[in-house]
Amino acid sequence: MAERQRDIVLFGATGFTGGLTAEYLAAHAGEGTRWALAGRNREKLEAVRRRLGEGAAELPLVEADVNDAASIRALAESARVVISTVGPYIHYGEPLVAACAGAGTDYVDLTGEPEFVDLMWLRYHTEAERSGARLVHSCGFDSIPYDLGALLTVEHLPEGVPIKIEGFVRAGGKPSGGTYHSAVHAMGRLRHSIRVARERRAREQQRVGRKIRGVAGRPHRDETAGGWVLPFPTIDPQTVLRSAAALDRYGPDFSYSHYLAVKQLPVLAGLVGGAGGLIALSQLAPTRNLLLKLVDPGEGPSPEQRAKSWFKVTLVGDGGGKRVITEVSGGDPGYGETSKMLAESALCLANDELPKTAGQVTPAVAMGDVLIERLGRAGIRFEVTES
């Protein structure tokens, strides 16, 4: 890896989140970090580089296209860590994962697509273990706050005891067109996702003598969460549970429940109705295509809208007669903070001393406390209260 031409390559730099990630790297990568922008359109890459200012005038540009296997392979072989912001990942993500797994190159993305993550595990986990590559999905708002927040909660509870954690998320912000398109595609592929998840469960080795489980929960009012809560079936609880399965520190019997929190009951009812309608319309190609036409995938919230956005994740952990409440909070969850989490994850893999891991691993397993410290210095707050 020391012989690689670059430390980090950002693939998808011309997209909305890719551009924000490039801005963050330009400001925080440090002079000793050798990094580059990559994408299929050189003119757009040059425009991004100009936007980064004079300090990035000599930043290398790499032309690569997911439909050109040789270019993707060359990209992976040139870097120690590759960042991918090219979604929907189920359509565009696999070639780069495959190339990184084969080349022994570390890989991070911001996917929230469970089918993609499961499919990549089925196809490339073993190859990545062989090559030494660390394939770390969901390094943005999906699923860093929950995964690292749960890890921090567990570390403040007694060892060797059953542990129960409930996670509550509250957030304010506007999604980008790319996020909307990924969500519609994911909802339209629920049957595929269920089948792939079942195949992964059948192949994964279970830890003997430990019980790791997700608990769906029910809608209710929760004072700690600050309002009404609804079970929230995102990729995030899956990430937390996979970290728990990989790390004995989570105890002999670990359970996790994941909720969306809102202040008013009518808002909760509206969210349920809206989500149900989107899922139903996403099942058929004609209505799914109509939904996709409503928003351009390149659209994103304005700087003013992002400045008003925020998130707070509250994790309540109980174990061994002790209760721990961890709050993870920050600004714009989908873009400003996601680009920060993604970039810091790549810098962590490239520069920091970490546990020896390989294959498809979660952020908590690959980077854990080291990444928590990095993100804390970068302005994302991790606060723990014990009782």
Distance CA 249, CA 144 (A): 18
Which DSSP string corresponds to 248-274? Answer: GGG-SEEEEEEEEEES-HHHHHHHHHH
Roughly how many angstroms between the first and final C-alpha of the chain, as a whole number? 45
Calpha distance 216→258 (Å, rounded): 7
Per-residue confidence (pLDDT) for residue 379, from 0 to 100: 97
Q: Read off the pLDDT band of 296 (50, 70, 90).
A: confident
Q: Give the model confidence (pLDDT) of 246-287 as tens digits.
A: 999 999 999 999 999 987 665 655 656 666 666 666 776 777
Sketch the domain layout of the chain as residue ranges: 6-139+337-372, 144-332+379-386
Q: Is the pTM of this model over 0.75?
A: yes
Contact 311, 141 (CB under 8 A): yes
Q: What is the pLDDT of residue 1?
A: 52
Q: What number is the average pLDDT over the span 362-382?
A: 98
pLDDT of residue 50: 97
Helix (H, G, I), strand (E, B) or coil at 112: coil
Q: What mean pLDDT comes out for the span 66-80?
A: 98
d(CA 223, CA 216): 19
The CATH-assigned architecture of domain 6-139+337-372 is 3-Layer(aba) Sandwich (3.40)
What whole-number distance in Å separates Cα of residue 38 and Cα of residue 52?
Answer: 14
Give me the pLDDT at residue 352, please.
Answer: 98
387 token code pair: 């009782």
Distance in angstroms (rounded) separating the CA atoms of residues 283 and 377: 43
> Could you tell me what percentage of the chain is helix, strand and coil, using 3-state DSSP and rounding each to the nearest 5?
45, 25, 30
Tell me what the mean pLDDT of segment 228-233 comes to.
90
Residues with Cβ within 8 Å of 135's Cβ and at least 6 positions away in sequence, in order, are 97, 100, 101, 106, 107, 120, 124, 125, 128, 359, 360, 361
The rounded distance, in Å, linking the Cα atoms of 212 and 138 is: 20
Chain position carrying tokens 């707050």: 381
Task: Work out the pLDDT band at 208, boundaries 50, 70, 90.
Answer: confident
* Mean pLDDT confidence for 348-362: 97
| pLDDT given for residue 8 in this prediction | 98
Query: Mean pLDDT, the chain, as a whole number?
Result: 91
